[in-house]
Structures are given as C-alpha cells and as structure tokens.
Amino acid sequence: MGYKENIAALGFDHSDDVNVAYGNAKNQLSMIRTANLEGPDRILPDDFSQQLTNLNTSFNQQLPDKRSAIEAEEKKLKTQHIIFLLVKIALIILGLLCVANEKLRVLGFIMVIAGIICHFVFKKIDVNKSADLLDEWNGFFDGFVDSIGHAETLHSPATGLFKKIDDLFLKSLDDNARGFEQQQRQMQKNMEAQAEQSRRALAAQAEQTQAIQKGMADMSRSMRRR
C-alpha cells in the first residue's frame, strides 16, 4: 500500500479480533468437564482461566498507551510528509524560475532534476516508514490474538492457549462423547472444503463467462468497423 493508504489504515482499531479470540477461548473453557479430569489435570481449567484473564487485562491496559504512541509517531510522519512536499515544490518552482534566466539556466535544470529525484526518494521514505508504523500497530493486536489462539480450521490447526484448552476439553470427555465430537469436527471440515470448492468453481465459471462476453464484444466492435 502507499503512504496515504497506510496512514488511513492506522485509524482502524482491531480490538474486536482480540475480544472474539478471548470470547471463543472462554466458551471452550466453559465446556471442559472438570469432574472427569484426574490428578494435576483438575487444576488446569482454573490455570487456563487465569492465563486468559491476564492476557485480556494486559491487552486492555496496554491499548491506550500503544494508541497514544502510534498517534504521536503518525503525527511526526505527517509533518515529515508536508516538509518533503514543500521541499519538492520549492526545488521545482525555483528551478523553473532559474531556467527562465539565461545565466542561471544550468542551476535551474539541476534544481528541477533534484526536485524530481527528491520526489521518488521522499515517496519511498514515506511509504516505508508508514508501512513500518502500520506493521507495529497491527502487530500489537496480532500478538494477543496469537497468544490466545484459535480453533482448528480447514487450513490451520488449533493454536495458542485455545489449543491447550481444547486438548483438555477433549480429554475431559468420555470415549463415546470424544468420538462423536471428533466426528462432528471432521464433518464440519468436509462441509467447509465442499463450500470452498463450490466457491472456486463459481469464480472460475464467472471468469470464463466474462472472458466469453469480452470476446464477443470485441468481435462485435470489429465487425462494426468493417
């Protein structure tokens, strides 16, 4: 993305992603049948609950400070962008004025060329710095989401603390319930795979139809020219 897109993206707060991950993990934790656990496993639900609470508390405490820090850096970037813009404009305008003067023509050309070079150099600096700041902002949320983790999906295994909770949940089930749960999950994955295949097939069909329509339109235009 460019500088403007990166700056605009800094305005998005991804707290919902963290809250959803936290809520999913809490729900999965509530499904553990603690009475079926034995030995050290019996204290794990409380331990996982405390870890989730700590992560959620840490996120809510750090978010205001992180937002303030990002906003301060964003302000610096915007100021720098304006300075770069003024320098480019000044070099080009002064260069053009000098070109009009025969004695300063060479200097004028140099200034115009310098202004053009500055445009590309400053643009790259703006893009890189704004991209780094956006990565830092998004990475703040991603770090908590990754720590909390998520359930198994079609293309990814369960991750983070959620995986530990889910493993304990399966362990707390009796053999019949565990087998049924695993069967349901496999059926869900199969349905998702079929849905994905259908989406791809429809997309390919739409692309093919669009290509045919374009070909017919091109042929029609060609015939009209004759």
Side chain identity, residue 225? R
Same domain, 156 and 52: yes
pTM: 0.80
Domain range enclosing 91? 3-172
**Mean pLDDT, all residues of the chain:** 92
Which pLDDT tens digit goes with each residue over 42-99?
Answer: 889 999 999 999 999 999 999 999 999 999 999 999 999 999 999 999 999 999 999 9
- Rounded (to 5) percent helix, strand, coil in the chain: 85, 0, 15
Which pLDDT tens digit goes with each residue over 188-202?
Answer: 889 989 998 899 889
Percent of the chain topping pLDDT 90:
69
**Is pLDDT of 163 > 90?**
yes
Same domain, 163 and 198: no
Taking alpha carbons only, the member of 43, 51, 52 closest to residue 23 is 52
d(CA 141, CA 189): 27
**Is pLDDT of 215 > 90?**
no
Same domain, 104 and 164: yes
Residue 89 CB neighbours (<10 A): 13
Same domain, 52 and 118: yes
Same domain, 57 and 110: yes
Q: What's the confidence (pLDDT) of residue 103? A: 86
Domain boundary (172, 192, 208) is at 172
Q: Quick check: 6 and 135 in contact, CB under 8 A?
A: no
Same domain, 121 and 146: yes
Stretch 157-184: mean pLDDT: 92
Percent of the chain topping pLDDT 70:
98
Q: What's the confidence (pLDDT) of residue 226? A: 61
Same domain, 135 and 164: yes
Of the pLDDT bands very low, low, confident and very high (cuts 50, 70, 90), residue 225 is low
Taking alpha carbons only, the member of 60, 80, 70 closest to residue 11 is 70
Q: What's the confidence (pLDDT) of residue 216? A: 77
d(CA 74, CA 80): 10
Of the pLDDT bands very low, low, confident and very high (cuts 50, 70, 90), residue 134 is very high
* Higher pLDDT among residues 34 and 26, named by residue: 26
d(CA 116, CA 108): 12
Q: What's the confidence (pLDDT) of residue 218? A: 74
- Tell whether the torsion through CA atoms of 112, 113, 114 and 115 is positive or negative: positive
**Is pLDDT of 13 > 90?**
yes
Maximum C-alpha span of the chain: 94
Same domain, 133 and 207: no
Domain boundary (155, 172, 189) is at 172
Q: Please state the domain count of the chain.
A: 2
**Is pLDDT of 1 > 70?**
yes
DSSP state of 172: T
Same domain, 137 and 46: yes
- Show the beta-strand stretches assigned E in the chain: none
Same domain, 49 and 151: yes
Same domain, 167 and 196: no
Same domain, 48 and 151: yes
Q: Which residues, including other chains, have CB under 8 Å from residue 140's CB and lie 6 or more apart?
A: 62, 63, 66
d(CA 28, CA 166): 7
HSE of 49 in the Cβ direction (CA atoms, 13 Å)? 11
Domain boundary (129, 145, 172) is at 172
Start-end of H helices in 10-43: 15-30
Q: What's the confidence (pLDDT) of residue 27? A: 95
Q: Which residues, including other chains, have CB under 8 Å from residue 35's CB and lie 6 or more apart?
A: none
Tokens of 223: 């015939």
